Structure 1
Amino acid sequence: MNENNAAVQFITVSADEAGQRIDNFLRTRLKGVPKSMIYRIVRKGEVRVNKKRVKPEYKLLDGDELRIPPVRQSAPDQAAVSPLLDKVAALADAVLYEDDHLLILNKPSGTAVHGGSGLSFGVIEGLRALRPDARFLELVHRLDRDTSGVLLVAKKRSALRLLHEQLRMKGMQKDYLALVAGEWPSQTKSVSAPLLKNILASGERIVRVGNDGKPSETRFKVEERFVHATLVKASPVTGRTHQIRVHAQYAGHPIAFDDRYGDAQFDQQLKGSGLHRLFLHAAALRFEHPDTGETMRIEAPLDKALRHCLAYLRANDK
């Protein structure tokens, strides 16, 4: 253990930080401190707001004066540091756009958006290591671990609220590229099928089409055809877990190398391409900037593995 915060800290809450629970604020502020310790120092009254004790669910107000006692943070496991530094460096190269309100990444495939569930590293953890002085970094939306592409991160709580409102009002346009099995019919421009999320005993999430599920819609457009496959643009109208993957499977055209909803025979047909990852990429995102109101469209280029797969198909599969 090492004492990273060996002195009492006094913090004035800004307007952008106001509105969040004090336990959540401290978890962000005191990185590496166990959640149990944060609850303990709040409940024992060692954390004070305006010189008074508060409960963990207390919501901070603009101008609140916080007293945070000295706390001990876990020292990093040196054996794990080197590979994590490599991943952080990769995130630095993946930044597509950044200003005072937003940070937008081309998320690599295989990187989770959050650590946890046995994963020590996620995009948010990496960004906090990359931007140690950033007071606020939170995901606006999520991408599956194996999906690459545009990922939007808010750098201010006010930006997060406004962007979440755009998501709720379906004011954000997301376009994905997916390589699917077989010949996608040009007339199938939309798939509407209710989706039901199940959590297995292992903790794995599996989504199925079911009458009791939530209404879900994905729009599809053919981009390029091959003998055994079709490159489609998929634009989700709703935002359910694994939505594009399950809707593609439901339509009879599963996505290449989908380890949950895919088709082994289709994957075998792509063996010569060298691809070993899910061919699903968040290619573009359109939204209104939360500060300026400007309409922004951010595009993320395909990674080397996806580009190589398409080049292989163009050369060998027509």
Structure 2
Amino acid sequence: MLIIIGFLVVIASVVGGYLGAHGKLAVLWQPYEVVIIGGAALGAFLVGTPMKVVKDTLKATLGVFKGPQYKRQDYLDVLSLIYELLNKARREGFMALEDHVERPAESPIFANYPKVQADHHLVDFITDCLRLMIGSNIEPHELEPLLELELDKHHAEALAPSQVLTKVADGLPGFGIVAAVLGIVVTMGSIGGDIVEVGGHVAAALVGTFLGILLGYGFVGPLAAALEARADQDSRVFEAVKTALLACLRGYNPKIALEFARKTLPTEVRPAFADFEQHLKTVK
């Protein structure tokens, strides 16, 4: 919602200021300038972007308007899931988690948290970590760099859409200049004719520069920044899971391990200590 409000503020400020200076709105309607700028930007985007990133960018752009993937209750569910798994491992041994790790879609523990279960990236991360803890005598200092490597890879993939949109935003003013230059070419070809027609061509050329700059700095650039912020927010849950599992591997009991994880969460989604403690009493 905040993104839509921001875009509306940009439009209202630019158009309102223009109209306040007695500008004519119809002059800004230059569809061929839009075709040149938008088409060139889209083509450059497709040339320089792998197909997977193209699809991820479309998905992320639609998703950013919905807000962060994980809300406060979702973080609580993730922590509760990890607590259930670690508590079962503490009581029955890590081998008791083998069926849950190998078949999370059929696990009654994962089934208690359907949104978490539906996020295959997060489920894969959790089960891969637990698989290492079950099937080997790996030490915390050996597991930590492996988890960091996995998180870096996941974060890099999540940031790819924002990075390619940033490049598009950087290129839009240049494409605006291309449209303006082509408009001047048209203008030069009409010199000697009706002065009103010549003036219209000059105005159209200037609108090309205006649109390129406005789209780059007023829309695509901020959208890329929003995608980057969304990727950073969505990565926090992976950091919390990593912290809890490493704390468990270092010998802390599940409640203390989850307290380590709780501390990694941003304040706006972090459950209060007393509330979290009370919630864990309801978890098996």
Alignment TM-score, normalising by the size of structure 2: 0.21
**Greater relative CO, 1 or 2 (CA 8 Å, sep 6+):** 2
Q: Point out the structure with max Rg over C-alpha.
A: 2
Whose helix proportion is higher, 1 or 2?
2
Larger strand percent: 1
